[in-house]
Structure 1
Amino acid sequence: MKKGTLLALTAVLCISTALAGCGKKEPAPAPGNAAAPAPAKTEAVSVDVGMLKLASSAPLFIGIEKGFFKEENIDAKAKWFDAAQPIAVATAGGSVDVGATGITASLYNMVAGGQKLLIVADKGREQKGYSSTALLVHKDSPIKAIEELKGKKVGITQTGSTYHYMIGRMLEKHGLTLKDIELVPLNSISGLMESLKSKQVDAVMLNEPNITAVVKEGYGKVVAQVGDEMDYQTSGLFFSPKLAGNKDTAVRFLKAYVKSTRYYYDAVLVKKDGKLVPGANFDEVVKIIAKYTGQPEETVKQGLPYMDRDGKLLAEDIKTQVDWYAKEKLIEKTIDTKTIVNTELLDQAIAQSGK
């Protein structure tokens, strides 16, 4: 045997022996030679979602209708409620896994009393340049600015409501306080509209599509859009302690939610030259919302609330709200917002979702 050949064989034997002795795995097959191992299948999970039949629940409607939750192996089941507070109670108690509703003083009082839940994502906010909630006066009113409300009657839904908070904050921005006006709780949206129409109050807080309805009927006019006055996280997505503790399921749910918020935003919230322009899926999204809310499509088009494209929460605003409600003695005691806000789960979902 030639010396060169002997040396080559010896080298091959040494290398093979060394690899075997070290327990090293053989190199992965070249591309095309063998299929890569399939990723581990995620566990199928059923998730009950408590919500209202409102346009601000649009991403949840979209996620269910388009199968985005199914893609994450999550069976998201809508559980319908008639009011906001019972949703928060059900989420904290574990009757539903996810709650989607407004953030009010009653929710903070519930947390102050020992109930536990986490606010994890956006579900509607007041944002500059978008019509959501506004201060309206009668068409014949001389009032043209917030500072002119001193001594006037202002209608809201309930004490401690989002409307209560919004008018209080706007008054303070313009040098007044709630003590400078007479606050009139009217318990319902229809009550607000009727009281403005009959001039029983001087002004009301009202949301879309009701703002558009009042203006079209000709008995009211807008003095100020809340979003132009302040950024405000009006509602949120809540997780029960049990769901928040199951990190895999929680992140998967939020991945589907992020896909849904992006779908919603790109369909109805994109602006061009400062004006809203319908996106490619505008009609489809309107139809989905109409289906789940039972509203006519033309009504839906007037009440499409602003949401962050990635579902991001205005976390700092939660503390602002708690501090204000405590100052006004609308919550029993102040709470540490770090115990009720979790943005880490959504951050992970966004990171896994890409752009």
Structure 2
Amino acid sequence: MKQLFTRRAILAGLAAIGLTAATFAPALAADKITVGALRFTSHSGGFVAFEKGYFTEQGLEVEFKFFQAAQPMAVAIASGDVDFGVTSITAGLVNLADKGAVKVIGGVLQEEKGIDGSAILAGTAAYEAGLTSPAKLAGHSLGITQTGSSFHYMASQVAAKEGFAASEISMKPLQKVGAIIGALKSGQVDAMIIVPHIAKPLSKGGAAKIIGWINDYDDYQVTTAFTSAKNAAERPELVKRFVAAYAKGAEDFNAVMVDKTKGNAAIEEMTKLIHKYVYTSRPYEKAAPSIKNGAMRLQPNLKLNLTNVKKQLAWFQAEGLVGKDIAIDVLVDTQFVETY
């Protein structure tokens, strides 16, 4: 009787003797996957994993597809145009999960005390008119991508802690981060919330003032890794290989750019690597400071702050943006990473 060998069995055998699929790359074709990303420093775990061959080690041939907001990426996962994505949890993503289309499989970017994270910005004119702290956001306009986006959620957490209703902030959905920046610069909106590699140059250049930090308001699991529900259920070994490669890239990023344990030469080398994907239209000398400013800790081993994800889900439900009966296991598949 003929013995049949599946790709999974071959990979398991290689792992048992300390080898990877990459060892026999010519004989064992890699699985081709498309990974959704934003051109943010916070997505560097994937860029590092790609450039350093960690995806290849896991038998994965990766192509990146870039987006300008979170919800379109979730739709692309659901449609099968993208296999894996890394971005924030949105109402759109939760609703797609409720339809059995997507699953969160791990955590990526986490706000952490002591490390600059998402900044609350006031436009220069608004600041000079008195918007000098998050406590004064009531009665002002704030640019967001979409209703139910991460920006919407973060603004609501600020309002709750400062003691006023989120409805007292005039949320302006502008679809793309670039449009929000333009609106802030021109005074069409008074405020925005954004990652540090964008916030700091805006502040330094005089277009806005940093008036607060999100990590003072919420233990926020900013971005997560997700895939189709079909991949999670039917191809768990593929998901595990993606997680392993991405986590290795995140580990390198943290050591070099956040903890800075590898020295200045390593920082320069990794900044040049990231520049292939972030601020690509700028010369390296102008892009490097912003890339370095955007270094926030990525979750070790893609562990997931499930406690905060549950809080996010409860907020979406309270706002009437998703169904009130959606359970956390509809949104998250916890088999792939540690949760807390």
TM-score (norm 1): 0.77
Once the 2 structures are TM-superposed, how far is the Cα of residue 289 of structure 1 from its aligned partner?
1.1
Which residue among 70, 79, 93 is the counterpart of 2:56? Answer: 70
3-state SS of paired residue (1:142):
coil
Kindly indicate whether residue 309 of structure 2 is the aligned counterpart of residue 323 of structure 1.
no
Distance across 2 between alignment mates of 1:327 and 1:226:
21
Once the 2 structures are TM-superposed, how far is the Cα of residue 341 of structure 1 from its aligned partner?
1.3
| Residue correspondence of structure 1 range 83-162 to structure 2 within 5 A | 83-112=69-98, 114-137=99-122, 138=124, 139-162=127-150
Match of residue 255 from structure 2: 266
Match of residue 256 from structure 1: 245
Once the 2 structures are TM-superposed, how far is the Cα of residue 209 of structure 1 from its aligned partner?
2.1
Change (3 A) 1:152 1:54: closer
Q: 1:286 is matched by which residue type in structure 2? A: T
Kindly indicate whether residue 203 of structure 2 is the aligned counterpart of residue 215 of structure 1.
yes
For the pair shown, the structure with the greater C-alpha radius of gyration is 1
Change (3 A) 1:283 1:147: same
Distance across 2 between alignment mates of 1:202 and 1:54:
23
3-state SS of paired residue (1:344):
coil
User: Does structure 2 retain, via aligned residues, the 8 Å contact 1:268–1:278?
Assistant: no
Kindly indicate whether residue 276 of structure 2 is the aligned counterpart of residue 291 of structure 1.
yes
Match of residue 3 from structure 1: none
Q: 1:119 is matched by which residue type in structure 2? A: V
Kindly indicate whether residue 212 of structure 2 is the aligned counterpart of residue 185 of structure 1.
no
RMSD of Structure 2 on Structure 1 (CA): 2.7
Change (3 A) 1:334 1:133: farther
Distance across 2 between alignment mates of 1:66 and 1:102:
25
Change (3 A) 1:79 1:183: closer
Is 294-303 or 213-222 further displaced after alignment?
294-303
Match of residue 235 from structure 2: 246
Match of residue 54 from structure 1: 40
Distance across 2 between alignment mates of 1:321 and 1:224:
21
Change (3 A) 1:72 1:196: closer
Q: Cα deviation per residue 1:314-333 (whole Å; 9 max; x = unaligned)?
A: 11212111110111122244
Distance across 2 between alignment mates of 1:262 and 1:189:
27
User: Does structure 1 retain, via aligned residues, the 8 Å contact 2:74–2:92?
Assistant: no
3-state SS of paired residue (1:298):
helix
Distance across 1 between alignment mates of 2:158 and 2:104:
24
Distance across 2 between alignment mates of 1:214 and 1:40:
47
Once the 2 structures are TM-superposed, how far is the Cα of residue 279 of structure 1 from its aligned partner?
6.3
User: Does structure 1 retain, via aligned residues, the 8 Å contact 2:157–2:217?
Assistant: no
Quote the sequence identity (%): 31
Once the 2 structures are TM-superposed, how far is the Cα of residue 86 of structure 1 from its aligned partner?
3.0
Is 133-142 or 256-265 further displaced after alignment?
133-142
User: Does structure 2 retain, via aligned residues, the 8 Å contact 1:268–1:279?
Assistant: no
Structure 1 runs not aligned, ≥5 long: 1-36, 349-355
Q: 2:118 is matched by which residue type in structure 1? A: T
Q: 1:130 is matched by which residue type in structure 2? A: I
Once the 2 structures are TM-superposed, how far is the Cα of residue 109 of structure 1 from its aligned partner?
2.1
Distance across 2 between alignment mates of 1:142 and 1:38:
65
Distance across 1 between alignment mates of 2:291 and 2:196:
9
Once the 2 structures are TM-superposed, how far is the Cα of residue 125 of structure 1 from its aligned partner?
2.8
Which residue among 292, 295, 307 is the counterpart of 1:301? Answer: 292
User: Does structure 2 retain, via aligned residues, the 8 Å contact 1:135–1:203?
Assistant: yes
Distance across 1 between alignment mates of 2:70 and 2:169:
27
Change (3 A) 1:81 1:199: closer
Distance across 2 between alignment mates of 1:200 and 1:89:
29
Once the 2 structures are TM-superposed, how far is the Cα of residue 60 of structure 1 from its aligned partner?
0.9
Is 193-202 or 58-67 further displaced after alignment?
193-202
Match of residue 165 from structure 1: 153
User: Does structure 2 retain, via aligned residues, the 8 Å contact 1:51–1:79?
Assistant: yes
Q: Cα deviation per residue 1:82-132 (whole Å; 9 max; x = unaligned)?
A: 5432322232333332122222111112223x1322211222232222223
Distance across 1 between alignment mates of 2:292 and 2:19:
42
Match of residue 233 from structure 1: 221
User: Does structure 1 retain, via aligned residues, the 8 Å contact 2:33–2:61?
Assistant: yes
Kindly indicate whether residue 187 of structure 2 is the aligned counterpart of residue 203 of structure 1.
no
TM-score (norm 2): 0.80
Number of matched pairs: 307
Once the 2 structures are TM-superposed, how far is the Cα of residue 176 of structure 1 from its aligned partner?
0.9
User: Does structure 1 retain, via aligned residues, the 8 Å contact 2:101–2:229?
Assistant: yes
3-state SS of paired residue (1:230):
coil
